[in-house]
Amino acid sequence: MTPEERNSRALRARIGAHSRWARCDDRPAATAAARASSPASTDRWEREVDPEGRLSVHERAVRAAHAKSAYYARLSLAAKKARAARRKAA
């Protein structure tokens, strides 16, 4: 994708987002499902580390925090590798 195509795509995305939110009456309700299933949602991490609900509340919270930290560390590593690959290709 050329820089011009990227800029045009980003501009179209911004137009779409602003248009959508200009028509929205209840923004929290419109984004509730995304927040509930987002990687930042505590429930998601707790279900991942204790799907059967056998751990104590404290242990589940500790493990969920570690799982969340590992997820974001993996994202950071992937981003670092992608930046290095782009630099190498340029």
Which position has the token pair 């799907």? 51
Buried b (16+ CB within 10 A) or exposed e, 44-69: bbbeebbeeeeeeeeebbebbeeebe
Tens place of pLDDT for every residue, the chain, 90 residues?
677 777 799 999 999 999 999 999 999 999 888 777 777 778 889 999 999 999 999 999 999 999 999 999 999 999 999 999 999 998
pTM summary value:
0.59
